[in-house]
Amino acid sequence: MRITQGCFSFLPDLTDEQISAQVQYCLEKGWAVNIEFTDDPHPRNTYWEMWGLPMFDLRDAAGIMKELADCRRVYGDRYIRLSGFDSSHGWESVRISFIVNRPKEEPGFRLDRQEAAGRNVRYSTHAHAATRPEGERYG
């Protein structure tokens, strides 16, 4: 099951050229671009690991694309996303976030139904990949 999170996730995966154009857009807006990765695809998992520090004060996307290539070399079997943080007053939040790398196989989620008091049913989603320990989930 293909994970859809953040911008562009209903489009086909972006090519490097397209990613670079998006990064350039962020830089021209003055946002700090971050690279994050994880192997827990649960939609409520908002705290992904950061690759290096947020990248401030850059002028050109090439530097970030280099970092992304490095990150892919190490964590190419996990999800990697880019986010653009706008530090300007009044925003001070992430303005854009999109997935730039995903595992080859995405096993998807299992739906658990828990019968609770009365006739209540509680639903929870469980990523099949997350059954295995962190770092061994894909590939």
Partner 1 sequence: MMTGQAAKAENGHAVAVDSIDLRREFESVDIASVLDQLDKELIGLAPVKTRIREIASLLLVERIRQKMALATAFPTLHMSFTGNPGTGKTTVALKMAGILHRLGFVRRGHVISVTRDDLVGQYIGHTAPKTKEILKKAMGGVLFIDEAYYLYRPENERDYGQEAIEILLQVMESQREDLVVILAGYADRMEKFFQSNPGFRSRVAHHIDFPDYSNDELLAIAELMLQAQNYHFAAKARDAFIRYIAARKTQPLFSNARSIRNALDRIRLRQANRIVSDLDRTLTSENVMSIEAEDVLASRVFAAAGATEIGA
- What is the contact surface with partner 1 in residues (CB under 8 A)? 52, 55, 57-64, 66-67
Residues contacting residue 46 through CB under 8 Å, at least 6 positions apart = none
* Smallest separation (angstroms) from partner 1 to the CB of 65: 9
Least CB distance from residue 59 to partner 1, whole Å?
5
Rg over alpha carbons for the chain, rounded to the nearest Å, is 17
Whichever of 11 and 62 has its CB closer to partner 1, that residue is 62
Residue (30 or 135) nearer to partner 1, CB: 30
What is the DSSP-derived secondary structure letter of residue 57?
S
To partner 1, the closest distance from the beta carbon of 15 in angstroms equals 16
Q: Whole-angstrom Cα distance, residue 105 to residue 75?
A: 14
* Tokens, residue 138: 């894909």
